[in-house]
Amino acid sequence: MKYFILVTDGAGDYPLPDRGNKTPLQLADNSVVNELAHRGTVGRCKTIPDGMEAGSDVGHLSLLGYPPEEFHTGRAPLEAASMGIELGEEDVTFRGNIVTLKSASEDGDNVPFEDLEMVDHSSGDISTEEGKKLYDDLHEYLRKEGLLKNIFMQHGVSYRGAFVIEKASKDLTPGKVESEPPHNIIGKKIGSYLPGFKINREGDTEANCFVAGRIREIMERSYEFLKGHPVNKARVERGLRPGNCLWIWGGGRKPALVSYGNGRRLKCSVISAVDLIKGIGVLTGMKVVNVEGATGNKETNFKGKGEAAVEAFKGGDDLVFVHVEGPDECGHQGDADGKIFCLEQIDENILKPVLTHLKNTGERYKILVMPDHYTPIELRTHSGDPVPFVIYDSEKEEAFDEARYYTEESGEKGMIFEDGSEIAEAFLAE
């Protein structure tokens, strides 16, 4: 038995009024996955439990069979694992985004830090080379300023990185001191979402109040340092958005994940451009396969990911898990055409070659295709709506139904998983 999981991150969406009230999944030419839907099981899955943040960390833990209520300790610890950071039991780590804030010069006057506006959570999908230069120079500046006692920073991919507090107080509650996820506040002033906005000002721990204040100071100083950085001056000259602030969020402590497979001994690989997904793979015993040109946006190497998945199967893997970030990034940018493009590229250059290979082996195989969450064009951020999925079993085809598709509408009419983590066992079951 071979298993293939394909996560089209953020693919779920709402009907677009200017596109005949159809969603990107309905508009995309997804002939391969829709053929599987015609012959497989279609439904919807609630990947985001009530009361939890609609993020890829929660959504992926859920769809992989790790109930987030039990296993989720924060987003950043998962990402740190992909960077080779081994957290101690007392360490706390946060995610650091290089973001674009609306600068004082654009408004023509001096604007207090808290009155700046979140323009872009990814600094226009800044390159990994540029992001690393900004991270490294900022780290050195903050170190010299004495702001990184028991703290270190490490760059990841593009605009992403880790911000680690070593030997943190047991009284520190990461979720109280962190900022709001930057993709949630596009177009808003940042003041109400800065570190510590969840703190009880009259009765909180000394550790929470101190760390929230220190993180805010670091964020504000990062803006002062980065807005004039040569990398950003060059980006502005090229008509690109500057990466002018380090936004610190998504904190947590070391998680206790177990090997993937619900007790099954499976040889697994994960293919993704995103630190979060690679980290989940590392912590669940999967081999991380890096693909040249995999960027995490619509310019990613779709074909390379498909080829890498086929090679992983040829190398003896029982399960290959491919994650594609492009639809999510396009959702955040409000780019409907880009989202449709990504979905079509995934279908043609990832799913099609993998399906062809699996068919040619003559061995039984199962395929799961689904998003981790919605990232609606209308909202430009995540939502917790139940997501559509397709499960196809080569030896247990459903009766052919040309009305079944990999779309939100078809998902509503099919099998329902109210607990997202149940879909993993349904997929793995023989």
Q: Do residues 228 and 275 both lie within one domain?
A: no
Q: Is the pLDDT of residue 106 over 80?
A: no
- The pTM assigned to this predicted structure is 0.85
Domain range for 364 is: 2-72+256-428
Structure tokens at 9: 């991150």
Q: Do residues 137 and 244 both lie within one domain?
A: yes
| Percent composition of the chain: helix, strand, coil (DSSP 3-state, to 5) | 40, 20, 40
Given this model, what pLDDT does residue 405 score? 98
Please indicate, yes or no, if residue 23 is contained in any of the structural domains. yes
Average pLDDT over residues 400-406: 97
Q: What is the mean pLDDT of the chain?
A: 94
Number of domains in the chain: 2
Residue ending a domain, among 233, 252, 271, is: 252
Q: Do residues 264 and 207 both lie within one domain?
A: no
Q: What is the pLDDT of residues 325-373, one digit of tens each?
A: 999 999 999 999 999 999 999 999 999 999 999 999 999 999 999 999 9
Q: Is the pLDDT of residue 105 over 70?
A: no
Average pLDDT over residues 250-271: 92
Average pLDDT over residues 93-120: 84
Given this model, what pLDDT does residue 111 score? 86
pLDDT more than 90, % of the chain: 90
Q: Do residues 265 and 201 both lie within one domain?
A: no
**Spatial contact of 327 and 9, defined as CB atoms under 8 Å apart:** yes
Q: Is the pLDDT of residue 108 over 60?
A: no
DSSP result, 117-128: BEEETTTTT--H
The CATH number of the domain where 316 resides is what? 3.40.720.10
Task: Return the ∠ at Cα 428 (arms to 289 and 363), rounded to 5°.
Answer: 75
Report the largest interatomic distance among the alpha carbons of the chain, rounded to a whole angstrom.
68
Model confidence at 167, in pLDDT bands (50, 70, 90)?
A: very high
| CA pair distance 93, 152, nearest whole angstrom | 10
Residue ending a domain, among 225, 252, 279, is: 252
Please indicate, yes or no, if residue 77 is contained in any of the structural domains. no
Higher per-residue pLDDT: 108 or 160: 160
Q: Do residues 107 and 247 both lie within one domain?
A: yes
Average pLDDT over residues 141-152: 95
